[in-house]
Amino acid sequence: MMIKNILIAGNYEEEFKKYVPEYLSKEFRFLSAEDITENDLSWADAYVGFKPCPSFHLANIKWVHSFNAGVNNYLEIEGLKDHNVLLTRTVCSFGQRISEYCLSYILRELQYHQEFQQKQREKAWEQRTPKMLRDQTIVIYGTGAIGQEVAKTFDFFGANVIGVSQSGKSKHHFNEVSDTASAAHLPSIADWVISTLPLTKETSMMFNKEFFSQLNGSFINVGRGATVDEDALIEALDTGNLQSAILDVLAEEPLPKNSSLWARENVTITPHISALTELSEAITCFLETLSKVENNEPLPNKVDFLKGY
């Protein structure tokens, strides 16, 4: 597939100049999403951005590339699949960033950081033996690139790492992988459940009342907010089934100020920062993908419309 006219949704011209080689004979238009017109869309062979512009329609577009890892807002575009449009996503350091995020919060709990800070304020010298990662069972929902990177981190420290995926196919760094249909018992043996799942028809509200009723440990969500029934999560916190929750993604973002999640001591809210896209990485990934598209090379970041990721 040959690409000539590339529409970039965002005023990133100066950043692109640092990475786009002079010999690349392409025409670029850099416009904020709100300023993109029907004429711009008709001109473009390819559309690149964090999200579709308000006036988005396919026109002559053959390829859409997301600057994000997630593509839910693009999958909602009517006709994208039927018109045989290529959809790709950004793949860069997301896995490492998310694994470090998860590690930091789990170590915070195991090493009693908050408790010792409180004792310091009280000027109280009280010893307590920290727990070790090697004694933890960590169940990771989603065994793709991000899930595997998270598993690699905890496997290094000797944790018992179990994966859950649709297929149940074995993956490196997991002691075992269960298919979704056979995973009902896993929440009850997990010290930590980490979700890296994308949002699909199958994963929507997957973490529901039945799931949380089986959970005796803690829950980290770095996947998508709508995979969680937040009412069921709150109920599990109230009953004590759920010890704590680390939530980087929520069903509604920003989280409404009247949400009861804000005030809970055993809930940590972060504003969807576990894997923010660095523009430099996004541009590099786009250029690598462009080269592969034009040379008909395999695209590991191509989105499967049936799977939704």
Of 178, 234, 227, residue with least CA distance to 198: 227
- Concerning whether 57 is annotated as a catalytic residue, the answer is no
Amino acid at 118: Q
Contacts of 255 (CB under 8 A, 6+ apart): 261, 262, 269
What is the C-alpha separation between 308 and 75, in angstroms, rounded?
Answer: 7
3-state secondary structure of 218: strand
Q: Which two tokens stand for residue 261?
A: 């999640």
3-state secondary structure 132-200: CHHHCEEEEECCCHHHHHHHHHHHHCCCEEEEEECCCCCCCCCCEEEEHHHCCCHHHHCCEEEECCCCC
3-state secondary structure of 207: strand
Of 20, 244, 205, 18, residue with least CA distance to 113: 244
Q: At what angle do helices 113-122 and 94-110 cross, to 10 degrees?
A: 50
Q: Which of 57, 83, 224, 264 is catalytic?
A: 224
- Concerning whether 29 is annotated as a catalytic residue, the answer is no
**CB atoms near residue 137 (< 10 Å):** 17
What is the C-alpha separation between 30 and 8, in angstroms, rounded?
Answer: 5
DSSP letter for 3, please.
Answer: -
Please give the positions annotated as active site: 224, 272
